[in-house]
Amino acid sequence: SAVISQKPSRDICQRGTSLTIQCQVDSQVTMMFWYRQQPGQSLTLIATANQGSEATYESGFVIDKFPISRPNLTFSTLTVSNMSPEDSSIYLCSVGSSTDTQYFGPGTRLTVL
């Protein structure tokens, strides 16, 4: 399976600021996704990152709050904008294979004060 890395691994941020999370894969992949995992909860899909076009957002998530870039088939970024304490979560990227299997990055643990 692909090797997936995320940066930063964790961060503590002040409310009102923004944080950009990077996801890097060691091989070209068709599908990349961004998830949020709130403390003690399951995984919730934020959006599908589409290469060369706008991301596809799930209900409850909007581009102004979570802008996503995907400039090529190995890299994507998720920005959490104008943060509030409610944004404190783990943010995970995942990559999908042609067989629909998804593999997850190590996650970014975000704390907003």
Partner 1 sequence: GENVEQHPSTLSVQEGDSAVIKCTYSDSASNYFPWYKQELGKRPQLIIDIRSNVGEKKDQRIAVTLNKTAKHFSLHITETQPEDSAVYFCAALSSGSARQLTFGSGTQLTVLP
Q: Residues in the site for partner 1, rule: CB under 8 A?
A: 31, 33, 41-45, 48, 56, 58, 92, 96, 100-107
* Cβ distance to partner 1 smaller for residue 39 or 85: 39
* Cβ distance to partner 1 smaller for residue 84 or 102: 102
**Which residues make Cβ contacts (< 8 Å) with residue 91, sequence separation at least 6?**
21, 34, 35, 36, 37, 46, 78, 80, 107, 108, 110
Helix and strand counts by DSSP (H, E) for the chain: 0, 11
CB of 109 to partner 1, least distance (A): 8
* Cβ distance to partner 1 smaller for residue 82 or 111: 111
CB of 99 to partner 1, least distance (A): 8
Question: Quick one: DSSP state of residue 85?
Answer: G
